[in-house]
Structure 1
Amino acid sequence: MKNSLQFKLGVVTKIVFKKMNAQLVQEGIPVLAEQLPILMVVYFQEHAMTQQEIANLLQKDKAGIQRSVQTLHKDGFLKIESDIEDKRKNLVTLTPSGKFVCERIQAMVIAFDNRVMEHFTDAERKTFIGYLDRVAAVAGE
């Protein structure tokens, strides 16, 4: 069991999120690592997104996304507006604070990635990323 894919990926994910949350606190960024995917999905889009689009992209349930979006809105990182064409939909965009936080987070992610990957050769990095891509493809079938 300790050598199962699920266990190993779970351990790595837990460590990465714990380190990232500690670094976010240290940097004074009031966001949890678990909320980062929502911010980053909105950041990399060129247009406002609905909460359903965010949920679909992240493969998460809409209710969970709605709760996180509301929290990020309350904290001043996301702006929520009603869709002019369909009042049942909310359009989500970043506020200037949200954009600033995303830019800082990108720098943190790159630095963390570099700290971990410096222990691998270029060939090992490519092989490792290739394995992860293959696992994702096979698991997603």
Structure 2
Amino acid sequence: MGEGETVPALLKEDGTPFKIAVLIPTINNAEELDIVLGRLGKQTYPHFEVVISDSKSKDNTKEVCEKHGATWIDDPSRNRADACNFALEQMDHDLVLFTDDDTVPPLDWVAKLVRWFDNPEVGAVGGPNFAPDDDPFGA
């Protein structure tokens, strides 16, 4: 699939489209988040909402979210797990994809994850994680 081409919406058994969100927890990382949101805006699967769970950032995170049309949630949490859980309580989506504010996804990332849910026996999907060669912690 070439750049600019899109994948049709994934439909539930009743023919209605799945409500899909990409959830990104963040705190004070507007610069990298701007890059990630720009990339999410170019996905080959365009039928999703981006939700940012912002743990009291002091930078321009909210403005970056507004620039990209992402939903911004003012989150009182101070760690990733709590931020994700807090946001999930505010959301009403059939599928939620998680990523980080410093992870630039491939252009077909959403499409490759969502396609598995065409099978009603699939309950969760994950992808490979690769640490940079120069990462001393082997994250």
TM superposition score normalised by structure 2? 0.27
Structure with more of its chain in helix, by fraction: 1
Structure with more of its chain in strand, by fraction: 2
Greater Cα radius of gyration, structure 1 or 2: 1
TM superposition score normalised by structure 1? 0.27
